[in-house]
Amino acid sequence: MPRPLPKQRCGRICVWSKEKSQDQLDLQACHRVRSRLVSRRTATINQIRAFLIESIPLVVTADDMIREGLVGSLSHPGGNITGISILATELDGKRLELLAELVPGARRVAVLVDPGTTPPDEIDALTAIARSQGIELGLHRAGIEAEMTPAIAAAQATGAQAIDVLASALFNAKRATIITQIAKAKLPGMYQWPEYGRARALTCYGPSIEGFYRQAARLIAKIFQGGQACRFAGRAAKPHHSRDQLDRRKDAGADGAAIAARPRR
């Protein structure tokens, strides 16, 4: 026989539950924090950024520190921020120019892009640069490893004459897979980091990853030596060019064999 409900007092029913353990309270707190971060992530990130800027020296790396509003000037950052700009948008245009030189007459270029890394405004800027050079861009997105090979195959199927691989932590971690698949598709490829040349990439143009981290380490060392971040000029990462010898690349196919122009530094 079911137990009768407790007597109502003042129109309310009192329900007692067992007191939560410390582990349960910790888990509940984690869920609440996660829920807040998801629902108010932009506001929360801005609050954290404001707190850090006011209290802790920051050495940041960004595609463009000025365009992203982190500093007003690289020479005089101000506040507690200094760091390194990759100048991604400008170098994307330069890489496209070099790719057009490497593949004379190319009018259709595929772009392998990680949608979680490259914002829409950078894609728009690259598309405008391509249009000004008479090049049609085909965007092929890969946000996870399983999407990379199909994206490269789709680029080949659409008749792309070359492929430009934009910067991404995912692409960097899986560089060997990407370079191998692009070689199988017989597409001349352009990559951001010169280190890709060690994995037999055809051509690369951009700042060195190793040099990039050395610059950041020097700025951090200066701060630990008692300096203030606002006194140290931000830096633009210096691009380097790495090109494999084309006469050694038998897997580049007919398009690769037709490459004759040497890119300007």
Domain with 89 in it: 60-265
| CA 137/CA 131 separation, integer angstroms | 8
Residues above pLDDT 90, as percent of the chain: 22
pLDDT interval class at 108 (50, 70, 90): very high
User: Which comes out higher in pLDDT, residue 142 or 206?
Assistant: 142
- Indicate whether 19 belongs to any domain: no
Judged by average pLDDT, the poorest of 9-13, 60-64, 197-201, 209-213 is: 9-13
What is the model's pLDDT at position 136?
Answer: 93
User: Is 140 within 8 Å of 150 (Cβ atoms)?
Assistant: no
Best-predicted range by mean pLDDT (43-47, 119-123, 209-213, 225-229):
119-123
- The whole-model pTM stands at 0.63
248, two tokens: 């050694």
Quick one: average pLDDT of 107-120?
89
- Indicate whether 16 belongs to any domain: no
- Indicate whether 252 belongs to any domain: yes
Number of H helices, E strands in the chain: 9, 9
| CA 221/CA 256 separation, integer angstroms | 45
Judged by average pLDDT, the poorest of 84-88, 99-103, 123-127, 253-257 is: 253-257
- Indicate whether 159 belongs to any domain: yes
- Indicate whether 214 belongs to any domain: yes
- Indicate whether 5 belongs to any domain: no
What is the number of other CB atoms lying within 10 angstroms of the CB of residue 1?
3
CATH number at residue 235: 3.40.50.2300
* Tally of domains within the chain: 1
Q: Is the pLDDT of residue 211 over 80?
A: yes
Hey, is 76 helix, strand or coil?
coil
User: Which comes out higher in pLDDT, residue 112 or 172?
Assistant: 112
23, two tokens: 């582990």
pLDDT interval class at 17 (50, 70, 90): low
User: Which comes out higher in pLDDT, residue 173 or 242?
Assistant: 173
Q: Could you report how far apart the first and last alpha carbons of the chain are, in Å? A: 88
